[in-house]
Amino acid sequence: MRAKGKVKLPSERLSSFLKFFYSFTKIEILMNFLLNGERIELTTKDLSLSGMLQQQQIDANRGMALAVNDQVIPKSDWDHYQLSENDQILIIKATQGG
């Protein structure tokens, strides 16, 4: 017997479904992420790493690395790597000093 009430989908499946569904509409929804430990919301317009940088107005300069859920993503993949709801994104910037 099935319990009455709402059905809860795993977050990856729900995220994939929402991306697919909203790709056919002009409606944009907000999805939650952690960026360097702070909660941010992104629109579903472009959920690639490059899109996230653009939405957050972060200049993708030389000497910067991105990690998603503790996995470093090569810069060559930033345009194609799609974020999922509640991903933890870490921006690492190299600095000079002495």
pLDDT digits (tens, 9 = 90+) for 15-61: 677 666 666 665 667 888 999 999 998 877 778 999 999 989 998 88
What pTM was estimated for this model as a whole?
0.68
Burial 65-83 (b: 16+ CB within 10 A, else e): ebebeeeebeeeebeebeb
Q: Is the pLDDT of residue 8 over 70?
A: no
In 3D space, the residue among 95, 93, 96 whose CA is nearest the CA of residue 58 turns out to be 93
Query: Which H helix or E strand runs over 15?
Result: helix 11-22
Domains, in order of start, for the chain: 11-93 (3.10.20.30)
